C-alpha cells in the first residue's frame, strides 16, 4: 500500500502547497506593501520650553453654535448614521433608535444589547456628550461596539444633532 510512488506523490503535494503559499505571500507583499525603505524617525531637540503654553486655547460655546445649527444641512449627514440606526420610535437597526436622543438616559432602550462602555459619558445624552461621541466614538467611550470612525467637523455634528431633534418632534 505505501510504496515509493505514493510517498513521492504525498511529498510532492505538500511541497507544491508550500510553494503556492510562498508565491501567494510574495505576490501579496508586492501588491500591498509600500515601495522603498521604511521611514526613519529623527528626534529634534527644541528645548525645554512648553510650546503649547504660548498658544491661546479657544473655548467653543457649543450651545451657541447649536442654536445656529441647520437641521436641513444635517439631513444629508444622516446617511452616515442610517446604515445602523433608525429614527422611528421603538424601531431598532444594528444600533438603537435615535428618536428623542437628546435628554434620554444613556443605554435606556430596553431589550437592546449595549456594550456597557457608554456609561462613561454620563447618565443622560447631553449635547456635549452626544457631540463628543459622534466626533470619536471609540475615544469618548473606549470599549464601545460602535464601528463608526467619527465625524470631525463640529458644525456638521451640530447640524446632524439638530436634524435628529427636529425629526424626533
* Confidence grade of residue 93 (pLDDT, cut at 50, 70, 90): confident
% the chain with pLDDT above 90: 47
Count of structural domains within the chain: 1
pLDDT in tens, 11-32: 999 999 999 999 999 999 888 8
In a domain, 42, yes or no: no
Is 22 part of a structural domain of the chain? no
- Predicted pLDDT of residue 2: 75
Q: What is the mean pLDDT of the chain?
A: 86
Tell me which residue range forms the domain holding 135. Answer: 62-168
Q: Which residue has the higher pLDDT, 169 or 159?
A: 159
pLDDT band at 134 (very low <50, low <70, confident <90, very high): very high
Residue 66 within any structural domain of the chain? yes
The answer to whether 106 and 125 have CB atoms below 8 angstroms apart is: yes
* In-domain check, residue 106: yes
Dist. CA 116–CA 119, nearest whole Å: 6
- Residue 128 forms part of a structural domain: yes
Confidence of residue 38 (pLDDT cuts 50, 70, 90): low
Residue 19 placed within a domain: no
> Is 98 within a domain?
yes
Q: What is the distance between the alpha carbons of residues 44 and 22, in angstroms, rounded to a whole number?
A: 41
Question: Is 133 a member of any domain?
Answer: yes
Provide the CATH number for the domain around residue 101: 1.10.760.10
Q: What whole-number distance in Å separates Cα of residue 81 and Cα of residue 92?
A: 12
The contacts of residue 91 (CB under 8 Å, 6+ apart) are 97
Mean pLDDT of 55-72: 82
Amino acid at each position: 500500500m505505501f510504496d515509493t510512488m505514493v510517498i513521492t506523490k504525498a511529498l510532492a503535494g505538500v511541497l507544491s502547497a508550500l510553494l503556492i503559499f510562498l508565491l501567494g505571500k510574495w505576490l501579496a507583499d508586492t501588491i500591498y506593501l509600500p515601495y522603498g525603505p521604511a521611514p526613519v524617525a529623527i528626534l529634534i531637540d527644541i528645548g525645554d520650553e512648553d510650546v503649547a503654553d504660548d498658544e491661546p486655547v479657544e473655548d467653543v460655546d457649543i450651545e451657541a453654535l447649536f442654536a445656529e445649527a441647520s437641521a436641513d444641512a444635517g439631513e444629508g449627514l444622516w446617511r452616515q448614521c442610517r446604515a445602523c440606526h433608525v429614527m422611528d420610535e421603538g424601531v431598532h437597526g444594528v444600533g438603537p433608535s435615535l428618536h428623542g436622543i437628546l435628554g434620554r438616559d444613556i443605554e435606556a432602550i430596553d431589550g437592546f444589547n449595549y456594550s456597557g462602555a457608554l456609561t462613561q459619558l454620563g447618565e443622560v445624552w447631553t449635547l456635549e456628550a452626544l457631540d463628543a461621541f459622534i466626533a470619536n466614538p471609540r475615544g469618548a467611550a473606549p470599549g464601545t461596539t460602535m464601528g463608526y470612525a467619527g465625524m470631525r467637523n463640529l458644525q456638521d455634528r451640530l447640524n446632524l444633532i439638530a436634524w435628529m431633534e427636529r425629526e424626533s418632534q
